[in-house]
Chain A
């Protein structure tokens, strides 16, 4: 409704179309804003309390060697933050993951676009990428370790391998779906190749790139963990294995909690970037 319209309506005695919204009471406003969060928090805290009661008593349901009580985990987290263990391991895993993901994203997008421009090359490279996508890449780890040793390189390489194929296959599929009519129209209006790429190709395949990055983000995290469990001297997954060997379950759950937080942050970040870049377009999730 426009402001002018309602003014003239009141002048002629007709009730205004803009009726004031009912003002919610403070309680209602609070509930509408924070209600779902509050329910989730209560829900989770009931669960954690029951966990503490069951596992923290003198006669736990499951041996605390496997599942510790929540308070013990909190103690272990504080201890590990204070003595710097957690930061040391987390920074190692995080660095490997971020470097690997960066390489995978850049290589996947560039190669995908370059190979996707020609239809025949695209269909052939799609076949190869599909094979790479369906191969359980973790199985290559023993060979990678023999080639590159137990150091950082084999871990980063595994992350790159696991993240590269989902991005690449999505970019290739995206390039294949570009509407030729749009390309022709742009050519007709005098766009050169650079403009064509920047104004049509890139916006068109952005959602595909984001889907690829999301799948790659999840997969590569698994890759980091497997590479570190298999053989490493640092890293969060190494910490899990080490603390488990010491039968210190609270310590290994500390590292698991750190991994959980890390993956939450990564997935949330990908979601935010996706919303920012694709606010003009509906992205399909599956």
Chain B
């Protein structure tokens, strides 16, 4: 045996160049999707427990928490006869309108405040006072003034989104590293060029974070405003059903609402991750 022989020729030496052990398809699938699978199994166990509890155990009166099968039947019925989609569309239209208005006002104002320190000094006390105020407290007065229609909801959603956008945008413009700006000026960029090529891309990170947070808090405000009183909307519909003690429909509406809001937020986060893979912030 010479040294040049490849190890496989020598039966006494274990072969270092064997192909990887053949992992079964199931095992690979399990390892790569473990979290999702466990999550789904957990939910399935929870729903089975719910069904069992409502049918046989009856810790809580089944009249208040009906079995999940009946809830699903009510969900199917209300989805097919168009009740839930109609109300959901009304709510989501308000949400989208408020989000767009809030972002449309918030981004320019945030950029202005960040670029002109004197304006920032004058306006920031008011912004901070309104930022820390629980703005939902104005709800009864605004409803008295504007009525139960979509105007009140859009106003509240847009104010909430506005604040979620304006504060990070201002912070983004203010925290641009001075050395970047100096380098830009040094290489002969005009003020506008420096603003467009350095300040704006830097602030973009903050703006997108603000938009994401705004979408989330807008969703919260959307339901809060419908709580107090509204003509339409999924929140109002759920309240109506629970006041009629038609609990199956109320739970069906709630499930729909949870699924829609969670998936909208997940979609926004997904798009955000795709568009800015370089972002280093923690996902909150």
A136 at the interface (CB under 8 A from B): yes
How many angstroms from the CA of A19 to the CA of B3 in the assembled complex?
Answer: 76
Q: Is the CB of B261 within 8 A of A134?
A: yes
Give the size range of A's interface with the partner: 35 or more
Query: Taking CB as reference atom, which chain B residue is nearest A147?
Result: B64
Inter-subunit contact B121/A173 (CB<8 Å) = no
**A244 partner residues in chain B, CB cutoff 8 A:** 140-141, 144
Is A211 touching B239 in the complex (CB atoms < 8 A)?
Answer: no
Contact between B132 and A263, CB atoms less than 8 A apart: yes
Please report the C-alpha to C-alpha distance between residue A230 and residue B229 in the assembled complex, in whole angstroms. 9
Chain A positions 7 through 34: 1 when the CB is less than 8 Å from some CB of chain B, otherwise 0: 0000000000000000000000000000
User: Does A127 have its Cβ within 8 Å of any Cβ on chain B?
Assistant: yes
Contact call A43/B122, Cβ cutoff below 8 A: yes
Cross-chain contact of B137 among A143, A240, A249 (Cβ < 8 A): A240
Judged by DSSP, the binding face of A is helix
- Please tell me the number of chain B residues within 8 Å of chain A, measured between CB atoms: 55
Interface string of B230-241 (1 = CB under 8 A from A): 000001001100
Q: Is B282 an interface residue (CB 8 A)?
A: yes
- The yes or no answer to A107 lying at the interface (CB within 8 A) is no
User: Does the CB pair A229–B34 fall under 8 Å?
Assistant: no
Partner of B262, one of A135, A229, A252: A135
Task: Determine if B262 and A143 form an interchain contact, defined as CB atoms under 8 angstroms apart.
Answer: no
Contact of A169 among B34, B261, B284 (CB under 8 A): B284
Q: Which residues of B contact A120 (CB under 8 A)?
A: 34-35, 38
Min Cβ gap A80→B in Å is 15
Indicate if A60 sits at the interface (CB-CB under 8 A). Answer: no
A237 at the interface (CB under 8 A from B): yes
Contact assessment for B250 and A142 in the assembled complex, using a CB-CB cutoff below 8 Å: yes
B182 to chain A, nearest CB (A): 24
User: Considering the chains assembled together, what is the distance between the CA atoms of A14 and B138 in angstroms?
Assistant: 69
Given contacts A124-B35, A146-B247, 7 further A-B contacts (CB under 8 A): A123-B34, A136-B223, A138-B227, A229-B136, A229-B140, A240-B137, A259-B134
5 inter-chain pairs at a CB distance below 8 angstroms, sorted by A residue, are A138-B220, A139-B223, A142-B238, A259-B134, A260-B129
Binding site for B on A (CB under 8 A): 39-40, 43-44, 47, 65-66, 120, 123-124, 126-128, 131, 134-143, 146-147, 166, 169-170, 173, 211, 215, 218-219, 221-222, 225-226, 229-230, 236-237, 240-241, 244-245, 249, 252, 255-256, 259-260, 263-264, 267, 284, 286
